[in-house]
Amino acid sequence: MTRLARRSVLALASAAALSLSVPALAQSPIVIKFSHVVAQDTPKGKAADFFKQKAEELTKGRVKVEVYPNSTLYKDKEEMEALQLGAVQMLAPSLAKFGPLGAKEFELFDLPYLFDDYDQLHKVTNGPVGKSLFKKLESKGIIGLAYWDNGFKVMSANKPLRNPEDMKGLKMRIQSSNVLDAQMRAVGALPQKMAFSEVYQALQTGVVDGTENPPSNLYTQKMHEVQKYVTLSDHGYLGYAVIVNKKFWEGLPADIRKPLEDAMEQATRYANQIAKVENDQALEAVRKSGKSEIITLTPEQKKAWKKAMLKVHDQMADRIGKDLIQQVYKETGFDPKKF
């Protein structure tokens, strides 16, 4: 869709939202447009398709879910606007993309080396912090339904990245999070915020030198074909919040919302089951392709990365909230003094 066409869709949607209190309900069946930016063959892509199938089955066809993958409908920033205007009903943006919405506390998930594994992460998303973050979305006209995993990030570039010093001066594409900006600066890199759909071309043409993402995103966007080295740095987590337009969701009849909640619960279990395997397989596929060399860090090298990036926790404490960070440290057992 061209930029102009997207704009007019947004304009039409806002006009519709003004004239009808619950526009999507006027249709039969009720349509849920679910827009996302990654390939279908990724943890999020597969979970979105799974949700569609379950939602249509459990509502016996009274709801139709249209999934638009790979930024075919909207790019990162536009999809947030579209959700608030009611042009789409459901999204699953990464937790790093809530800052521009005014919910900067979500950037807590971007703090480098905060989580050692998925179990620690789930303690936070399934606990009071996860709930309190969703509460913050309501004043923006959004309801948070679930957290879906992707995985732990690798760092890629056209030079081998073994020590944090190797990052010096590299232009690195990041998502919209200020925590990620600080993380890249902590190792001397030059962060550039950019929509996901633009990353492959930016890497190919040298607009940026490198990037970070879990292997499933790297592989399905073919970034490994334009990056010579991939470092298994595991320096941060990338996952999603599945969100819906509040007015739409609350306007649904109870006998429709309940099966949709059940479908979401099942899709969440599925998403979180497949995420690690999908990323392991994607990494294997990158290895097999022979296009990128995969670098495993020694324990000493990994320690140096952690040491270099840890200061970001303090630097970003005011932005995220000191109490929130302390609460997460307590839930995960993270001890900043051990570095």
Q: Interface mask (CB under 6 A) for ligand LMR, residues 44-83, using x and -?
A: x---------------------------------------
Residue count of the chain:
339
Number of Cβ within a 10 Å radius of residue 287: 15
Of 226-265, which residues contact ligand LMR (CB under 6 A)?
none
Q: In terms of CB distance, is 59 or 156 closer to ligand LMR?
A: 156
Closest approach, Cβ 298 to ligand LMR, in A, equals 27
Does 196 participate in binding ligand LMR (rule CB under 6 A)?
Answer: yes
Nearer to ligand LMR, 238 or 252 (CB): 238
State yes or no: residue 183 binds ligand LMR (CB under 6 A): no
Q: How far is the CB of 130 from ligand LMR (least distance, A)?
A: 18
Nearer to ligand LMR, 59 or 217 (CB): 217
* Residue 220 or 301 with smaller CB distance to ligand LMR: 220
Examine residue 148 and tell whether it contacts ligand LMR (CB under 6 A): no
For 236, counting Cβ atoms within 10 Å of its Cβ (0-12 exposed, 13-18 middle, 19+ buried), the class is buried
Contacts 24+ apart (CB under 8 A), 63-68: 63/29, 63/30, 63/31, 63/32, 63/256, 63/260, 64/29, 64/30, 64/31, 64/32, 65/31, 65/32, 65/34, 65/90, 66/31, 66/32, 66/33, 66/34, 67/34, 67/36, 68/33, 68/34, 68/35, 68/36
Residue 175 lies near ligand LMR (rule: CB under 6 A): yes
Binding of ligand LMR by 94 (CB under 6 A): yes
Could you give the CA distance from residue 213 to residue 203 in angstroms, rounded to a whole number? Answer: 13
Comparing CA positions, the residue from 221, 222, 189 lying closest to residue 208 is 189
From 36-44, 47-55, 116-124, 179-187, span contacting ligand LMR (CB under 6 A): 36-44
Q: How far is the CB of 122 from ligand LMR (least distance, A)?
A: 18
217 lines the binding site for ligand LMR (CB under 6 A):
yes
Is 109 a binding residue for ligand LMR by CB under 6 A? The answer is no
**According to DSSP H, which parts of the chain are helical?**
3-19, 43-58, 76-85, 118-125, 128-137, 178-186, 199-205, 215-220, 246-250, 254-289, 299-315, 317-320, 322-332
User: Least distance in Å: CB of 150 to ligand LMR?
Assistant: 6
In the complex with ligand LMR, which residue's Cβ is closer, 84 or 211?
211
Nearest to 96 by CA among 177, 185, 213, 212: 177
Q: Which of 9, 30, 32, 37 binds ligand LMR (CB under 6 A)?
A: 37
Cα distance between residue 145 and residue 241, in whole Å: 7
Nearest approach in angstroms of CB 300 to ligand LMR is 29
38 binds ligand LMR (CB under 6 A): yes
- What is the identity of the amino acid at 198? E
**Residue 84 binds ligand LMR (CB under 6 A):** no
Does residue 150 bind ligand LMR (CB under 6 A)?
yes
Question: Does 203 contact ligand LMR by CB under 6 A?
Answer: no
What is the DSSP pairing of strand 142-152 with strand 237-245? Answer: antiparallel
Stretch that binds ligand LMR, among 37-45, 67-75, 254-262, 328-336 (CB under 6 A): 37-45
Give how far Cα 211 sits from Cα of 75, 140, 215, Å.
18, 30, 11
Q: Residues in the site for ligand LMR, rule: CB under 6 A?
A: 37-38, 44, 94, 150, 175, 196, 213, 217
